[in-house]
Amino acid sequence: MADRAITIGFWLNAILMIVKLLAGYYGDSEAVFADGIESACDFVAIISTLIALRIGRKTFDDDHPYGHGKAECMAAIMVSLVIFAAGFGILYKAVMTFVTGHYPQPQLMAVAAAAATIVIKEILFRYTRRVARKLESPAVEAVSKDHRKDALTSVATLIGVTGAYFGFAFLDPLAAGLTSFFIFYIGWETLKKTVHDLMDGRPPQNVLSQICDTACEISGVDRVHEIRGRRSGQYLIIDLKLEMDPEMTVRQSHEIADQVKNLIFSRFSNVGDVMIHINPSNQAHKDLIRL
């Protein structure tokens, strides 16, 4: 599903890139041409994401006992850097146009290209975001935000190129400059979330609470002493400390822990592994940790 969403975006981006570059060049629109250049940068992002998804799905091995999911985070960081680079490029070109005072006169084809991009990119954003939320994939989420960035870019581009088409020539480079700030914001949001995951930041509290409630449904679990989680690509890795009857045998507690793990797996498709530590109930114990 993730591959399909990204592949669809890849080929539509290719078509839009060519259309915008041609319409911007032959239609004398700096904003539309800059939009096309920005779309060209997306190819780097999408290709890197496809590679990361392929790597991230590889099962664990001796060198990577927690799997390869972090490859998706690395790809998402690359996407954010590409977004930043595109924003700086567009802003620089717009500033230079104002400095030189040379304002081109856009043609109707440039206006049409900007309008078509808005519609196509918004549809792509909604579709890709739905897939990203279903899979909880940071890489696919980054691509969906990139589609939204393109849609926002083209809204400003459409306003600018339409105004310039009707005689207000300065609006074309102005739209290009303002668009760059939308791009910077989306790049920052993508980078911030990805760095959080890469640094093993805590998953949403409501998800952890639901997992705790699930564990407590199993007979023999007195309570969840502690839960921790971190993301590895599309999956969550959960650490659970459960309190159980201290008179249980090792076999009994092990069987209960297996039941907890199986129930969590059945209800949370995005949980990749659950590590369970058992503590005796109603007895003081000190956790040993150096972090």
- The token duo for 130 is 């739905």
Q: Which pLDDT tens digit goes with each residue over 187-238?
A: 888 788 888 888 888 888 999 999 999 999 999 999 999 999 998 877 899 9
DSSP labels for 19-58? HHHHHHHHTT-HHHHHHHHHHHHHHHHHHHHHHHHHHHTS
Q: Distance between CA atoms of 21 and 35, rounded to whole angstroms?
A: 8
Q: Give the model confidence (pLDDT) of 97-106 as tens digits.
A: 888 887 777 8
Q: Which residues pair with 280 in a beta bridge?
A: 244
For the segment 86-142, what is each residue's pLDDT rounded down to a tens digit? 888 888 888 888 888 877 778 888 888 888 888 888 888 898 888 888 877 776 887
- Among candidates 280, 246, 284, 240, which has minimal Cα distance to 260? 240
Distances (CA, A) of 220 to 165, 175, 277: 73, 63, 14
**DSSP per-residue string spanning 131-168:** HHHHHT-HHHHHHHHHHHHHHHHHHHHHHHHHHHHTT-
Q: Which structural domains are found in the chain, ordered by start?
A: 2-198 (1.20.1510.10), 205-280 (3.30.70.1350)
